[in-house]
Amino acid sequence: MQLKRADIVTAAIALLDAEGLDGLTMRKLGARLGVQAGAIYWHFKDKEALLGAMADRMIGESADPPLAPGTWDAQLTEYATRARRALLAHRDGARVMAGTYVQEQNTVHAGEMGVRILTDAGYPLDRAGWVIFSLMYYVLGYTIEEQAQAQAGDWEDRGIEDTALLSAMSDVVRSDPDERFAYGLGLFMDGVRLRLAEALS
């Protein structure tokens, strides 16, 4: 039976979900697929390339189904929320994305989808891509920390003397992750809204 590229990616994501990024080795992946590791290298020149394809698959999961019709800000919020959900859906998903600079099909089409939300609303094309990339940096940084937070303890005993401030810092870590994600996203959206109003005026 011929080993297909897509099947390797599927198996690699299953291995990731089971063992995390540190457990994802070409040897274990080969064992899971019943092939020698060399057969995988025929499709992916190195682990980096495999991680890129895995990240691209995850992004693809976020683009389906198409966004519901709506205002640009509702759509863009949904777009960012889906991207977060797609990374959270897999163990260490954000770290997989972080190590790669993906330019594969799904990622490019997701980028295109984001840019179109903005340009359809009247945002200048030459800055719409900058906005979408910035938005993705926030999503990536947020989900990286969200997935790392299992290791987090409290902020007590960290040398902060101001108890009101200490309590506020602790509350950040304890807050509802959906709500906190939406808050940061809202700051960003406010900025986009302002620039859009300027562009349209």
Positions touching its own copies (CB under 8 A) are 48, 94-95, 98-101, 103-105, 108-109, 111-112, 115-116, 119, 125-131, 133-134, 136-142, 144-145, 148-149, 151-153, 155, 158-160, 162, 164-165, 168-169, 171-172, 175, 180, 183-184, 186-192, 194-195
> Which of 30/111 has CB closer to its own copies?
111
Least Cβ distance, residue 141 to its own copies (angstroms): 3
Residue 118 CA, distance from chain mean position: 20
> Which of 1/159 has CB closer to its own copies?
159
> Which of 15/128 has CB closer to its own copies?
128
> Which of 53/139 has CB closer to its own copies?
139
> Which of 42/137 has CB closer to its own copies?
137
Which residues, including other chains, have CB under 8 Å from residue 89's CB and lie 6 or more apart? 58, 61
Q: What is the full DSSP assignment across the chain?
A: -PPPHHHHHHHHHHHHHHH-GGG--HHHHHHHHTS-HHHHHTT-SSHHHHHHHHHHHHHHHHT-SPPPS--HHHHHHHHHHHHHHHHHTSTTHHHHHHT----SHHHHHHHHHHHHHHHHHT--HHHHHHHHHHHHHHHHHHHHHHHHGGG---STTSS---HHHHHHHHHHHHS-HHHHHHHHHHHHHHHHHHHHHHHH-
Least Cβ distance, residue 144 to its own copies (angstroms): 5
Least Cβ distance, residue 33 to its own copies (angstroms): 23
Least Cβ distance, residue 89 to its own copies (angstroms): 18
Is the distance from CB of 100 to CB of 87 less than 8 angstroms?
A: no
Least Cβ distance, residue 34 to its own copies (angstroms): 27
> Which of 37/160 has CB closer to its own copies?
160
Least Cβ distance, residue 16 to its own copies (angstroms): 15
